[in-house]
Amino acid sequence: RQWIVNATTLPLNHDGTATTALTAEVTQQDTRPLEVIYTLQTDTRQLTRYTVPVAPDGTAETIQTVGRITPWTPETPNLYNLTATLCAVEPDGTRKTLDSVTRRIGFRTVSCTAQGGFQLNGITRKIKGVCLHHDLGMLGAAVNRAALLRQLLLLKTMGCDAIRTAHNMPSQ
């Protein structure tokens, strides 16, 4: 089964809710009616669940407002699990799961104005970045995930929140 899921989060609302546009495109049709079940949850509780029928053109689109959202920031990177489940509706009304995909997403508002500069979730932030070479010093240019993670954690403890890669582009 081939299908694509896209989630677009719109700027956060002032009342602590978030609006998200969810789209699934099914490229391989089935003779049975299809539905996509979108579920948004934290690690401990389910926030929303929407069932959207797949249209004859293969799309299942919805725009929903989700309450009780904690915004994503570099200091508190709150992430949510968005699961899209593609189901076939059997003649007796039961659903048969054909495929499911889960992605980690965050909600935040980004703006840049002459008056406020760069703002994340309505708060002006100074971007503190570094120019980082692709290699890991004495370890060389081969990718070493543990060394990269250590390097990123050290940069974060130093207050770094932006990286400009230098010379050779990183492989990943």
Answer for the pair 32, 45: CB distance below 8 angstroms, yes or no: no
pLDDT-derived band of residue 133, with 50, 70 and 90 as boundaries? confident
Of 120, 128, 117, give the one whose Cα is nearest residue 163. 128
Closest CA to 57 of 24, 20, 91, 94: 24
Place 170 in a pLDDT band, splitting at 50, 70 and 90: low
The Cα 37–Cα 39 span in angstroms is 6
Q: What is the pLDDT of residues 24-72, one digit of tens each?
A: 999 877 789 999 999 999 988 998 999 999 998 899 999 999 888 899 9
Query: Given a cut of 70, is residue 172 above it in pLDDT?
Result: no
What value does the mean pLDDT take over residues 105-130?
92
Higher pLDDT, 109 or 136: 109
- For residue 85, list its beta bridge partners: 37, 100
**Average pLDDT taken over every residue of the chain:** 88
Question: How far is 125 from 145, CA to CA, in rounded Å?
Answer: 29
| Interval 10-31: pLDDT, tens | 888 888 889 889 999 998 777 8
Cα–Cα distance, 76 to 12 (Å, whole number): 16
